[in-house]
Chain A
Amino acid sequence: SQTIHQWPATLVQPVGSPLSLECTVEGTSNPNLYWYRQAAGRGLQLLFYSVGIGQISSEVPQNLSASRPQDRQFILSSKKLLLSDSGFYLCAGRVRYYGYTFGSGTRLTVV
């Protein structure tokens, strides 16, 4: 079965600092991978998705970028964080049509 690993669980970063969140997949190969952001009390907004190494699709123009250097690794980055980047970030993976698996999430607070 597929397991999504995310770290750290919580992160407090100052405005203007860089960001790197890593997501790794265990148990499957060639998954579709996704980064979602959830603002407090809100739904999930799709930020990026990737169907393969080096292939990134961006859904929303923003201060963030994503990369997929390896099949089972998906990275969310920012060069300079904004206050509005605060939120709960979830990585998800899909292999089969209905097999979506989520990581445990990273709660980012930009101060």
Chain B
Amino acid sequence: AQKITQTQPGMFVQEKEAVTLDCTYDTSDQSYGLFWYKQPSSGEMIFLIYQGSYDEQNATEGRYSLNFQKARKSANLVISASQLGDSAMYFCAVLGNEKLTFGTGTRLTIIP
């Protein structure tokens, strides 16, 4: 079974600053995938970034990057140059054995 821990229930960040959202995970699978999703107030789940457990390079997608530290079982999301539209819930998830398991999320609020 997988377990995801997101220790920051809420964060406030000044616009244009970078922000790091923490995520640690526990899985017994040798091969797994790590995801980050954004959920605005509308409720839709927006895929941000993916990292495979065997990928040696950290994943990047535009302003999003994933700081993957496999030995520490850590997969932090870094958002550079935050924007007001980044205000939302952010969920870390791990895919293993055909199932995607989510953390409890971090509510990010960008302050103008």
Q: Which residues of A contact B (CB under 8 A)?
A: 32, 34, 36, 42-46, 49, 51, 59, 88, 90, 92, 94, 97-98, 100-102, 104-105, 107
Contacts and interface: CB of A to CB of B under 8 A. Distances in A.
Contacts of B35: 98, 100
Say which size band chain B's interface belongs to.
10 to 19
Contacts of B103: 43
24 contacts: A32-B98, A36-B102, A42-B105, A43-B91, A43-B103, A44-B45, A44-B102, A46-B99, A46-B100, A46-B101, A49-B98, A49-B99, A59-B99, A92-B100, A97-B95, A98-B35, A98-B52, A100-B35, A100-B47, A100-B100, A102-B44, A102-B45, A104-B43, A105-B43
Interface string B91-110: 10001001111111100000
